[in-house]
Structure 1
Amino acid sequence: MSDASLAAPPVKASPFHNLEVLWVRHWTDQLFSFALKRPEDFRFRSGEFVMIGLPGEDGGKPVLRAYSIASPFWAEELEFFSIKVADGPLTSRLQKIQPGDSVLMGKKPTGTLVLDAVTGGERLWLIGTGTGLAPWLSVARDPETYSRFKQVIVCHTVRNVADLAYRDFFTHEIHDDPLIGDEAKAQLTYYPTVTRERFETPGRITDRIKSGDVFADLQLPIGFSPNSDRVMLCGAMAMIKETGELLETYGLKEGSNAEPGDYVLERAFVG
């Protein structure tokens, strides 16, 4: 028998990184954020998503879900924004992670909520509901966003005021960012809406688009223009579909990585 026949078969490379949890922040009893140590060879475009998970219990297959990366492409850590589901296969366990624990992350980021998928314009709308805010945390910290668009509007719709995670970040903290702080102060507008409590801008973002309130509040011409407005959508399926239909009535066309357009949505989340 030759030495070659005795050689062990090559070990198949894992499709996942096993990453250390750096910090965890619980916003409410339903929302939390966490950060993972970034592998040196991991590259992604701001706005992309990746698979996040935990090993299966009792040796079963890993439990994985798609998560938008909330960090910009240049960040040294990878941040994520998640809901908590008491009986969820993943989040029922993921919400209990602590610094020093390990989390699985896929090696291949992908997605459509990237600057490459929209054509040039004057105004970029980043419209999200709930944890659909996550990709906007990434895109809003990318220098290219401010070089390509004169105005960036982050719209975040939630049920309760306490759900406006990152409100302080978008109204104050981002202005101190060493890379894009000055640009954000001059070009970024944060527009939150709340559906189940009293708030200065109440209701669903789709209703405020239909009524024209969002444009009046921001002192903009009523409606979206294919000549000047570009839109990204992430969050609840109903919001994405309704807003997409509204944008089409204004003449905006959906784009993709292969063929950039006037607006984009993440079909991996919509189904």
Structure 2
Amino acid sequence: MTDAATPADPKYTRQRVTSRITWQSNKLFSLRITRDPAFRFIPGQFARLGLAVDQPAIDAANREPNEWRAYSMVSHPGESELEFFAVAVPEGKFSPELSRLREGDTIWVDKTSFGFLTLERFVDGRDLWLVSTGTGLSAYIPMLRDPVTWQRFSRVILVHGVRHSNELAYRDELLALQQSRKDSGGGQLIYLPMASRENIDPAWSPSLPRTTLAPARLTDLLESGELERRAGCALDPASSRIMLCGNPAMVTDMRKLLSLRNFAAGRRGIPGNLAVENYW
């Protein structure tokens, strides 16, 4: 069930939380909410979510959103609900309130979708590299759920950088997708979870080497060539397309390193082989 936009502001609609997943206690969680039938988006885009923060509980039905934040859709455009993956920042004003939402609670959604971290930025290639840290993974899940992605690329290399292994959200879905792609004989998924503060166990993914690996930052892995060794394929500017989404420092540093290898964003109608999104 979804409510129409309020007369006071036709730019957003009132939605309802339908379910919640807790990935890491008091920190990482996902919410599924109702979706306005008119809301449209492309995999990789984000929505502006609104909450009524620090408003009196009395007459709650008439409260209006006064705080807004951007979150990428985890759900595929063909799904009837919207799904979002978030981290609760204790000192934040919005995310702690978001983390307290439960089934039946109200949330507002801007009627417009935003963002340009989409596959429309690229011409087809052989390899699609999807590099993320933390909740930056959100932008890539709907791409992996989209059959069009597997028609356009022979291999998809998904890199998910976290601090500790208990932050590897959506891992079961990614492992199942990796196996189903292998069984289908179609486009191959190479899932590379990475940790910066604990050893990497090969049990996290069949794509990892069969030895326990030391913790490392994604930028160090790229600079040393270890990232390509773990993936089993090279980052070739002629045939590879790469997306970066997550911590702004990671995005900035990786972009600099990739520019030295002839990776660049598209400009003036010329398609590039690099697309980026800072996730906060």
TM-score by length of 2: 0.84
Q: Choose the corresponding residue for 1:63, options 64, 67, 70.
A: 67
SS of alignment partner, residue 153 of structure 1: strand
For residues 1-271 of structure 1, what are the structure 2 equivalents within 5 Å? 11-28=7-24, 29-58=26-55, 62-172=66-176, 186-199=187-200, 200-201=212-213, 202-221=215-234, 224-255=235-266, 260-266=271-277, 269=279
In the alignment, the residues of structure 2 paired with residue 60 and residue 43 of structure 1 have an alpha-carbon distance, to the nearest angstrom, of 23
- Structure 2 distance, partners of 1:245, 1:183, is 37
Seq. identity, %: 33
Shift of 1:211: 1.0
Change (3 A) 1:220 1:98: same
Mapped partners of 2:194, 2:8: distance in 1: 48
Partner AA of 1:210 in structure 2: E
The number of residues matched between the two structures is 255
- How far does residue 62 in structure 1 lie from its aligned partner after superposition? 1.6
Secondary structure in 1 matching 2:108:
strand
Q: 1:260 to 1:35 in 2, by over 3 A?
A: farther
8 Å CA contact 1:117, 1:257 repeated in 2: no
| Partner-residue secondary structure (3-state), 1:147 | helix
What RMSD in Å do the two structures reach over aligned CA positions? 2.3
Please tell me the residue identity of whatever aligns with 1:55. A
**1:43-98 deviation digits (Å, cap 9, x = unpaired):** 11011011012124326752111101111221222110000112311111110111
Q: CA deviation at 1:139?
A: 1.1
Task: Indicate the structure (1 or 2) with the bigger Cα radius of gyration.
Answer: 1
Structure 1: runs of 5+ lacking an equivalent: 1-10
Structure 2: stretches of 5+ with no match in the other structure: 1-6, 56-62, 201-211
**CA–CA distance in structure 2, aligned partners of residues 111 and 184 of structure 1:** 32
CA displacement at 1:128 relative to structure 2 = 0.3
Structure 1 runs (4+) deviating above 2 angstroms are: 11-14, 56-61, 173-176, 180-186, 255-260
Greater Cα offset, 20-29 or 199-208: 199-208
For residues 60 and 42 of structure 1, do their structure 2 counterparts lie closer, same or farther at Cα, with a shift above 3 Å needed? closer
1:159 Cα offset (Å)? 0.4
Report the TM-score, using the length of structure 1 for normalisation. 0.86
Q: 1:258 to 1:83 in 2, by over 3 A?
A: farther
